[in-house]
């Protein structure tokens, strides 16, 4: 019987890291999946504190290492990820990284793409636009990353109903609940694919 190899996940984050922590907790008892590292483009990102507390390796990189050299690509090659997950990561992924890891980079977006996607559409900006347009529903989209913001092939969407009385913060909380419920499970499903 052939031993099952451990699947390796690398997470990218720019902010507080609540999705990172949720994913780490989801896989913490698993022997077949490991969170190899968390990478961030912000030196003072709260995700670094979370990683410290969770005993997960984390690394800050600057813009040069990310988009003007092969620094981040070389780090990733050394980590040999089966999947690269953008969990609240705000920079556009450079083409050299996309070419090195085709169909291995996924993102979560806090709306039902193709609505409310594109440059500058993240976090509260998305929820404020959803509220301003009096949408009856919103949700999350998990998708592959390509050269354009939020235009990669859709893997999974989940919806939540909105009320006219919902504030931007209420919408954000509803979407956050969907992220927590669905993101780790979809990552797990992708890792199980041959």
Report the distance separating Cα 154 and Cα 157, nearest Å.
8
pLDDT band of 172, cuts 50, 70, 90: very high
CB atoms within 10 A of CB 40: 24
Q: Residue for token digits 């077949």?
A: 32
Domains located in the chain, CATH noted: 1-102 (3.40.50.170), 109-194 (3.40.50.170)
Average pLDDT, integer, range 56-81: 95
What predicted TM-score, i.e. pTM, was given to this entire model? Answer: 0.95
Question: What is the band of 4 on the pLDDT scale with cuts at 50, 70, 90?
Answer: low
What is the pairing mode between strands 83-86 and 7-13? parallel
- If you search the block for the tokens 């800050």, which residue do you land on? 60
Report the pLDDT value the prediction gives residue 1, as an integer from 0 to 100. Answer: 44
Q: Which of 70, 109, 127, 156 is catalytic?
A: 109
Residue 161, both tokens: 């109903």
Kindly report, residue by residue over 79-91, the tens digit of the pLDDT. 999 999 999 998 9
Q: Are strands 105-109 and 137-144 parallel, antiparallel or unpaired?
A: antiparallel
Per-residue pLDDT band for 194 (boundaries 50, 70, 90) equals confident
DSSP for residue 64: I
Flag whether pLDDT at 2 surpasses 60. Answer: no
pLDDT digit string, tens, across residues 94-143: 999 999 999 999 999 999 999 999 999 999 999 999 999 999 999 999 99
**C-alpha 106: how far from chain center:** 7
Q: Is the pLDDT of residue 181 over 90?
A: yes
- Burial (Cβ within 10 Å: 0-12, 13-18, ≥19) of residue 107: buried
Give catalytic status of residue 109 as yes or no.
Answer: yes
């Amino acid at each position: 019987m052939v031993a099952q190899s451990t699947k390796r996940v690398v997470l990218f984050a720019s902010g507080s890291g609540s999705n990172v922590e949720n994913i780490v907790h989801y896989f913490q008892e698993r022997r077949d999946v490991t969170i190899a590292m968390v990478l961030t483009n912000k030196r003072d990102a709260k995700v670094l504190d979370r990683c410290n507390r969770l005993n997960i390796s984390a690394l800050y990189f600057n813009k040069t290492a990310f988009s003007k050299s092969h620094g981040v690509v070389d780090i990733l090659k050394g980590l040999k990820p089966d999947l690269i997950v953008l969990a609240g990561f705000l920079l556009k992924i450079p083409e050299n990284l996309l070419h090195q890891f085709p169909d291995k980079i996924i993102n979560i977006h806090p709306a039902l793409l193709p609505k409310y996607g594109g440059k500058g559409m993240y976090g509260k900006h998305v929820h404020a636009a959803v509220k301003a347009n009096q949408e009856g529903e919103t949700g999350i989209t998990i998708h592959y990353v390509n050269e354009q913001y939020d235009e990669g092939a859709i893997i999974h969407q989940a919806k939540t109903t909105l009320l006219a009385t919902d504030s931007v913060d209420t919408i954000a909380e509803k979407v956050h609940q969907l992220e927590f419920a669905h993101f780790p499970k979809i990552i797990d499903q992708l890792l199980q694919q041959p």
